[in-house]
Amino acid sequence: MREPKEKEQTELELLWNFPGPETEFWTECLSLFCRQLRAATAILLAREIDGDRTEWKPMSLWPDAEETKQRFFALREQIESHVADADSSASPEAKTVADGISIFCLPVDIGSQQSEAVIALLQYGDDSFLFPSDRHLRLMRQTPFLYGADLSFEKSKPALKAPASSPLQSAIELTLAVQEETRFPAAAMRLCNELAATFLAERASLGWAHGEYVRVKASSHSEKLNKQSEQIRDLCTAMEESLDQDDEILWPESTASRFHIFLGHEQYARTSGTTALISAPLRDRKTIPCGILTLEREEPFTLTEARSLRLMLDLTGRRLTELYEQDKWFGARLARKCAKGTRRLLGPEHTLAKVIVLLAAGTIAFLALFPWPYRIHSTFSLEAEETFHLPAPFEGYVKEASVRSGDLVEEGDLLVQMDTREAELRIAELSSSIERFTAEAQLARAEGNPSGLHIAVAQAQEAQSDLKRAELIRSQANLQAPARGVVVEEKLQDQIGAPVTKGESLLVISSLDGLYPELLVAQEDIHRISAGDTGSLSFASRPDLRYGFTVEKIEPKAQPQEEGNVFRIYADFSDAPDEWWRPGMTGVAKIDHGERSLLWLFTHRAIDALRLRFWL
C-alpha cells in the first residue's frame, strides 16, 4: 500500500476547522473520505441498541442522490453485516459484498460512550480503494472528534428511508443515467446496475436479440461473463421465451402470466437457485423487441413492478439500440444502413412518394437507355431533271393558246399557234419575185446578155432563199410539246392577239420523268450525312404517305438563309414517282442516322448550344 500524499493530511486539518454550518460537516467529511480513498459513495451509519437488538441506522450519505439510496438499500444487509465485523476489527480491510461491489468500513471517533459511528465506503467495478497508512487512518478516525462533531444534528433529521419515487420519476432518472454513457457495454452495465438497485434484485441481466436467439451482453456488478456455462445458456433460453411471446413473463406464475409459457424460466430458476424471475422485452423506436432484461431476487415480482419495468425499458430502448449500432465495426454499420434503406425503400411507408420516385426513375431510365431511331429533319422541294422553255419563233402575234399553267401535255401536243398571215403574204410575194427573176433570166439568155442572165439568176436565188426562210417561219408557227410534262409557267392568256418579239418566252414545261427531291439541311447536322444515306419524305399535301429516297450528292458550299446556313442535298427516289407529283411540291424529309436514346434526342441541341456558349 502506497503512502498518501501530504496534501491529504492538509485536507484533514482543514476539515478539523470546518468553517461551514455544523449540519453540513458530515456531508463534507464523507465527500473528503471518498476522494482520498477513491470510493464511489460513502454512508454514515450509527449504532442503535434496543434491548438485545442492535441495528445500524443510516444517518447520512454522499452523494445525496436517488441512485445512491437505491444501491444502499439493495445491499443493506451485506453492508450492515460487514460493518459489524469491521467495528470489532483493529485493521479494517476491503471486502466484496456483491458482484463488482467492494466495501471498506472505517469506524470513527465521535467522543461519545453511548454512540458509535462507522463510515462505509463503496466501490464499483474493478476499481480498488487507495488504502491509507496507519497514521493517516488514525487521523481519519479522529477527524470527527477533533472537529467536535456528534450525531445530534443528524438525529434531529428523520433517518434515511427507502426511496419511494414514482415509476415515472424512476424511469426518467434511469433514462438520464443511460444517456450519460457513450458506449454500449457501459450503458448496458449501467442499466443492469440501476435496475438491480431499483427493484432490490440480486442480479439484472441484459440479453440482445440475434434473429430468433438471445445472447447475454451484460449482468449487474459483473464485468465478465462465461457465456459457455450451463447457467448462462439456461438464462438465454428463458430470455428467448419472453422474446418469442413479446411480453413480460413473471415466475412464479401470476394471474397476469397464466397464459404465458415459462418452461425456460422454470428451468433457469432450478439451475441458478433463484426464487423469483421477471423477463421483459426491450424495444427500439419501432416497438420491435431488440433485447430482453431479466431480474432475479428472493421476493416475487408484482404487476406494479412489471409495469414500472416496462416503462423504464421503453424509455431506454432507443438509446441502447443506437449505442449498439454505433459500437459495430464499419462494415456491419454499412450493411445495416443498406438493409435499413432497402427496407425503407421497399416498405409500405410513403407509398405516393415512392410511386412518384419510381415513375421518375423509370422515365429517366427509359429516356436514357431505350433506343430510338434518330432522323435528321429537313425541308425539300420536288425538282425536275428537264425543263423546257418555248420562246416565240418570230415576231408576230399569238393566234391561239390551247394550254394553261398546270396542264399536263404529251409529247407532240399542239400548245400555241402563231398568226401566219404575214408569213403567207411574204411567201406569196417571194414566189412572184422568183417567177419574175426566172423570166428575166430566160430573156437575157435569149438575147445573149450574159451579165443580165447572171443578175437575174442571182436575184432568183436570193428570192428562193427568202422563200425558204419564210416557209420555215410559217412551219414554226405551231408550238408543240417537246416531251411529256406539265406547264409550269405561261403568259399567253393575256397576249392573244398581242405582238410578241422573237425569243420571248411563252411557255415553260417541266418533264414528269426523272423527278427528284432537293433537300435543305441545316449546317448543325450536315456532318452527320454522307452519300448513300437513306431516309423518307412526306409531301405537305399528302402527309399520310411516305416515300423513300437515297442521298446522291451534297453541295460543298452552304447557302445563307434567314434561319441560318443550309446545305443543298440531291437525292433519288427509291420507287417510281406517282402520277400526282408536280415539280415544286414541298414537304418534310427525314434522313436516317442510326439509333440514339430519347434523352440524347431531347438534350443534344441544348448541350451543343451550351458548349458554344461557355466553350465547353
Tens of pLDDT, residue by residue over 158-181, are 445 444 456 777 778 888 888 888
pLDDT category at 49 given cuts 50, 70, 90 is low
Mean pLDDT, range 378-386, rounded to an integer: 88
Q: Say which residue, 335 or 572, is predicted with more confidence.
A: 572
Sheet containing 408-409: give its strands across. 387-391, 505-511, 485-490, 408-409
Specify the pLDDT at position 450.
83
Specify the pLDDT at position 551.
94
Residue 41 φ then ψ, to 5°: -155, 160
**Does residue 294 register a pLDDT over 90?**
yes
Specify the pLDDT at position 358.
87
Of 28-42, 251-265, 358-372, which range is least confident?
A: 251-265
Tens of pLDDT, residue by residue over 77-102, are 778 777 776 654 456 677 777 777 88
**DSSP E strand boundaries for 351-470:** 371-383, 387-391, 396-401, 408-409, 414-418
Specify the pLDDT at position 166.
63
Mean pLDDT, range 297-310, rounded to an integer: 87
**Does residue 497 register a pLDDT over 70?**
no
**Does residue 303 register a pLDDT over 80?**
yes
Specify the pLDDT at position 156.
43
Of 151-165, 346-360, 388-402, which range is least confident?
A: 151-165
Specify the pLDDT at position 155.
47
**Does residue 229 register a pLDDT over 60?**
yes
Question: Kindly report the CA angle at 148 between 144 and 153, in degrees rounded to 5?
Answer: 85
Which among 119, 111, 39 is positioned nearest to 86, based on CA atoms?
119
Q: Say which residue, 560 or 337, is predicted with more confidence.
A: 560
Local structure of 433: helix, strand or coil: helix
Specify the pLDDT at position 572.
92
Tens of pLDDT, residue by residue over 504-531, are 777 777 777 778 999 999 998 998 999 9
pLDDT category at 2 given cuts 50, 70, 90 is very low
Mean pLDDT, range 430-454, rounded to an integer: 81
Specify the pLDDT at position 518.
93
What domains does the chain contain, in order, with CATH numbers?
Answer: 6-155 (3.30.450.80), 167-332 (3.30.450.40), 387-503 (no CATH), 514-614 (2.40.30.170)
CB 139 within 8 A of CB 145: no
Residue written as grid cell 450503458: 187
Q: Say which residue, 248 or 116, is predicted with more confidence.
A: 248
Contacts of residue 538, defined as CB under 8 A and 6 or more positions apart, other chains included, come to 544, 545, 546, 547, 587, 588, 589
Mean pLDDT, range 396-401, rounded to an integer: 76
pLDDT category at 1 given cuts 50, 70, 90 is very low
Specify the pLDDT at position 113.
59
Q: What percent of the chain has pLDDT over 70?
A: 89
Q: Indicate the average pLDDT of the chain.
A: 81
Specify the pLDDT at position 158.
46
**Does residue 356 register a pLDDT over 70?**
yes
Specify the pLDDT at position 398.
77
Residue 208 φ then ψ, to 5°: -115, 140
Sheet containing 478-480: give its strands across. 478-480, 414-418, 396-401, 499-500
Specify the pLDDT at position 115.
67
DSSP for 185-249 reads HHHHHHHHHHHHHHTT-SEEEEEEEETTEEEEEEETTBS---TTSHHHHHHHHHHHHHHHHTS-E
Mean pLDDT, range 461-477, rounded to an integer: 78
CB 566 within 8 A of CB 521: yes
Q: Say which residue, 520 or 110, is predicted with more confidence.
A: 520
Of 159-168, 250-259, 377-386, 445-454, which range is least confident?
A: 159-168
**Does residue 278 register a pLDDT over 70?**
yes
Q: Say which residue, 398 or 143, is predicted with more confidence.
A: 143
Specify the pLDDT at position 354.
84
Tens of pLDDT, residue by residue over 125-142, are 767 777 777 788 888 888
Local structure of 505: helix, strand or coil: strand
